[in-house]
Amino acid sequence: METKFSKATDSEHEVKLESSLISASWRGGSAIAGAKAGLEVLTTFVGLGADIKITCKTDTGKNVGKVSGAIKNNKYVGEVDISTDLKTGDLIYFEADLPGNSLKGESSCIPVYNIIVDNIKWSAKEARRGDKLTLTANTKGAPDKMDAKITIFEYDNDGAHDKIIELPGEIKNEKLEVKWEYEYHEDVDEIPTEEEMSRYGKKYNPPEYFYTITIGGAVFGKKQESGLLLFKDYIDIVLKNQNGNPVPEEDYVVYLPDGTERKGKLDEEGKAVEKDIPPGDCRIEFPNV
């Protein structure tokens, strides 16, 4: 396209703007069979809403996926389903066709991996603050040093799961293993009180967590295959006198964040533990002290 303009500026001139296809590229360095692969096409002067057709092929010319859409702001960003018939080691590319502008182009090739992810599990069924957990999975078909991402969610019965944290990982010997030190992330101000729960005939339910694994754009574990990790909070109670000596067998009352209270008695060392309580600030009183 001509980029210089040397005509007189005191009159009107007609300038022809030629459309072009600048690039067609994958948004990742590999694709996973049975998953979606992101792609991007950049253009100039093709018109808002111009039709585009994407055809995904193997390097041997076999069609393995199609998608169509429209150009917006001289760009198309989309995804194409990668056939489950492809095997690890296959190479794929895509052709971009803008029929209304008589433009065509193609991307470079990327490798395909046919990966089976199973045995997704936590190293424990319950966790408390500060517990160190191991998250593991088998990743058959994935090459060594392939990047993976673990995303931990707080489970919601309604399906509106809250994302807690993302953890990077690397596959070794067709296995994924990531360490995580558990921390409670929810805003304790949002925990309903016992009075609020009783209106609906419910009691406090400790948070539960599951995780998914993302490899090359494919997400595994969406159906909570990892199992649900149950959060259990607790508090340690220790009572000492002014000299630092323990005060044994003293009565105590713990006022919990949800509005309930628990009563108990310290042991011979002036200690007690209250388990399975809602997270948040607790108030402890010793009525006889």
Tell me the DSSP string of 129-173.
TT-EEEEEEEEETPPTT-EEEEEEEE--TTS-PEEEEEEEEE-BT
Instruction: Read off the pLDDT of residues 104-156 as tens digits, 9 standing for 90 and up.
Output: 999 999 999 999 999 999 999 988 878 899 999 999 999 999 999 999 999 98
Instruction: Read off the pLDDT of residues 155-187 as tens digits, 9 standing for 90 and up.
Output: 988 889 989 999 999 999 999 999 999 876 555
Structural domain boundaries in the chain: 20-113, 116-231, 233-285
Q: Per-residue pLDDT for 63 more than 50?
A: yes
Q: Read off the DSSP letter of residue 121.
A: E
- Burial class of 67 by CB neighbour count within 10 A (0 to 12, 13 to 18, 19+): middle
- Which residue from 122, 102, 115 is spatially nearest to 148, judged by alpha carbons? 115
Task: From residue 24, give the alpha-carbon distance in Å to each of 1, 93, 98, 225.
Answer: 19, 10, 12, 36
Q: What is the pTM of this model?
A: 0.68
Fold designation for 20-113: Immunoglobulin-like (2.60.40)
Q: Per-residue pLDDT for 202 more than 60?
A: no
* Amino acid at position 228, single letter: L
Fold designation for 116-231: Immunoglobulin-like (2.60.40)
Task: Outline where DSSP puts E strands in 45-102.
Answer: 51-58, 63-70, 75-81, 91-98
- Token output for 192: 């309903």
Q: pLDDT class for 33, splitting at 50, 70, 90?
A: very high
Relative to beta strand 229-231, strand 126-127 is parallel
CB-CB neighbours of 277 under 10 Å: 19
